[in-house]
């Protein structure tokens, strides 16, 4: 176990003890240092000022041995350092630094074949350069470490957030399926009730028909009996009653033998049943052409549960610092990238007076606040301070006859056209023409507490006939 060097230091000369002596007060000093102190004054301890009882204090042999061992280790270390400063091959002092092999060499090494063609610099200059390089490397490694720590913290946040997302998504799925179940249950009840009602109607009709048949059977039986009795009468009597009997026979008109339409109209209830129910469900289902991607939303943007509307909040939400998220500005994009064809969506702006709408390139920066202009990968319309501006370079002020409550964004990717219209009368507000080099995504920005809402569209069902 090593002893700290300060415990082996004389309080007078502040050096390692030489021939240490021990006073009665337990303080130790070099013999010569103590003698000098006593020669100039009273015979007392230089530390605690306690008077010494002996003029020739005893040697502290244990301390002396420890100090000598410590000095021996120090001398050996000094020799080792000296050896390390000399060339292992030539024994000469290392005065140069080979810039090719990145190692210190002596003047003999520089003249050897191994280093003769190599650039070298004095050891002092090389030391400064190497320290600068190591400082830069240290800074780079420290930055990497800080970044890894940040990623580690973000990973922990994302782990918690994933669980929250899972619970919220499951809750929404259950809620929406519950709504669909209610529609299906209601439609099932209505159709079962319709079958039951028709059953009651057909059974009542059948009972009336059976009652009518029974009356006709009774009347017909009576007529047959009358004719049979007439046939048994005397000839003259039969002839006298013939006309009346014949009229009664001919007056028997049977109207209850028509049995059509008495069964349940099964086809009416089962024909394309699933398709008809599906058509009914559409009245309870909204379809929006654009759905917001919550993983890209700035923390100050609040999205609706169905991911179709957004508004600004001064109180940021707790969300992880993932790479897809906009970190500098209150922005969010749609979840689907568009790389061909024509697309459109209508956004209800309502009372929101601070927004940007349009499309953005898939690769736009999420960590920097940059102008939403074409050269930066944005094609947008801006409404702020009561004025419309097309975000060109520089922005183009626009004049409109009225402030629309809705804005239609229309993209024709193949033609390189992004248009903004008032859907109330299809009036064109502005159109960008460009050549798109990568997929585009619907883009939204606002710093207003009033929501921007993507409007649902009517779903049309067509049947292909062959």
CATH topology of domain 5-84: Herpes Virus-1 (3.30.40)
pLDDT tens digits along 166-175: 999 999 999 9
Q: What is the dihedral of CA 47, 50, 56, 59, to 10 degrees?
A: -50
Instruction: Name every residue whose Cβ is closer than 8 Å to that of residue 377 and which is 6 or more positions away in sequence.
Output: 360, 361, 363, 364
Contact (Cβ atoms closer than 8 angstroms) between residue 282 and residue 184: no
Per-domain residue ranges for the chain?
A: 5-84, 85-122, 158-282, 294-454
**405-432 exposure pattern, b = at least 16 Cβ within 10 A, e = fewer:** eebbbbbbbeeebbbbbbbeeeeebbeb
CATH entry 3.30.160.60 includes domain 85-122: yes
Residue 360: which of 388, 389, 386, 326 has the closest Cα?
326
* 284 HSE (CA, 13 A, CB side): 15
Residue with tokens 């007439």: 230
What's CA 126's distance to the chain center, in Å?
A: 50
Confidence of residue 96 (pLDDT cuts 50, 70, 90): confident
Q: Is the pLDDT of residue 214 over 60?
A: yes
CATH entry 2.60.120.920 includes domain 294-454: yes
Q: How confident is the model over 289-314, as a mean pLDDT?
A: 95
Confidence of residue 184 (pLDDT cuts 50, 70, 90): very high
Q: Is the pLDDT of residue 78 over 80?
A: no
Instruction: Give the whole-angstrom CA distance, residue 429 versus residue 407.
Output: 9
Mean pLDDT score across all residues of the chain:
88
- β-bridge mates for residue 383, sequence order: 355, 388
| pLDDT at residue 255, rounded to an integer | 61
Report pTM.
0.62
Whether the CA torsion 27, 31, 32, 38 is positive or negative: it is: positive
pLDDT tens digits along 230-285: 888 888 888 888 888 888 777 776 665 667 788 889 998 999 999 888 888 887 78
């Amino acid at each position: 176990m090593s002893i700290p060097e300060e415990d082996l230091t004389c309080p007078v000369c502040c050096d390692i003890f030489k021939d240490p002596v021990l006073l009665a007060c337990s303080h130790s000093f070099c013999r010569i240092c103590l003698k000098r102190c006593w020669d100039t004054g009273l015979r007392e301890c230089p530390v605690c000022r306690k008077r010494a009882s002996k003029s020739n204090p005893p040697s502290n042999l244990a301390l002396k041995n420890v100090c000598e061992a410590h000095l021996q280790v120090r001398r050996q270390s000094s020799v080792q350092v000296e050896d390390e400063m000399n060339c292992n091959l030539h024994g000469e002092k290392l005065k140069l630094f080979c810039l090719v092999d990145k190692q210190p060499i002596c003047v003999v090494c520089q003249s050897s074949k191994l280093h003769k063609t190599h650039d070298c610099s004095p050891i002092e200059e090389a030391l400064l350069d190497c320290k600068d390089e190591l400082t830069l490397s240290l800074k780079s490694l420290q930055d990497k470490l800080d970044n890894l720590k940040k990623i580690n913290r973000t990973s922990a946040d994302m782990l918690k957030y994933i669980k929250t997302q899972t619970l919220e998504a499951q809750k929404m799925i259950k809620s929406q399926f519950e709504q669909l179940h209610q529609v299906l249950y209601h439609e099932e009840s209505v159709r079962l009730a319709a079958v039951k009602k028709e059953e009651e109607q057909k059974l009542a009709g059948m009972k009336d028909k059976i009652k009518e048949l029974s009356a006709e059977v009774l009347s017909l039986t009576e007529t047959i009996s009358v004719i049979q009795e007439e046939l048994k009468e005397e000839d003259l009597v039969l002839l006298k009653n013939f006309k009346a009997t014949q009229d009664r026979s001919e007056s028997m008109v049977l109207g209850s033998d028509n049995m059509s339409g008495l069964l349940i109209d099964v086809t009416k209830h089962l024909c394309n049943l699933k398709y008809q129910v599906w058509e009914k469900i559409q009245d309870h289902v909204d379809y929006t052409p654009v759905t917001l991607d919550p993983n890209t939303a700035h923390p100050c943007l609040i999205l609706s549960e169905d991911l179709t509307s957004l508004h600004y909040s001064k109180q940021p939400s707790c969300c992880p610092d993932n790479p897809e998220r906009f970190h500098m500005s209150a922005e969010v994009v749609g979840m689907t990238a568009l790389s061909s064809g024509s697309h459109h969506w209508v956004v209800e702006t309502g009372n929101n007076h601070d927004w940007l709408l349009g499309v953005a390139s898939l690769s736009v920066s999420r960590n920097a606040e940059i102008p939403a202009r074409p050269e930066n990968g944005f094609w947008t319309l801006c409404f702020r301070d009561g004025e419309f501006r097309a975000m060109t370079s520089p922005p183009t002020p626009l004049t409109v006859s009225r402030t629309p409550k809705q804005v239609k964004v229309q993209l024709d990717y193949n033609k390189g056209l992004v248009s903004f219209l008032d859907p109330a009368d299809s009036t064109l507000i502005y159109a960008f023409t460009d050549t798109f080099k990568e997929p585009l995504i619907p883009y939204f920005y606002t710093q207003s507490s009033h929501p921007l809402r993507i409007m649902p569209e009517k779903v049309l069902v067509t049947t292909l006939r062959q």
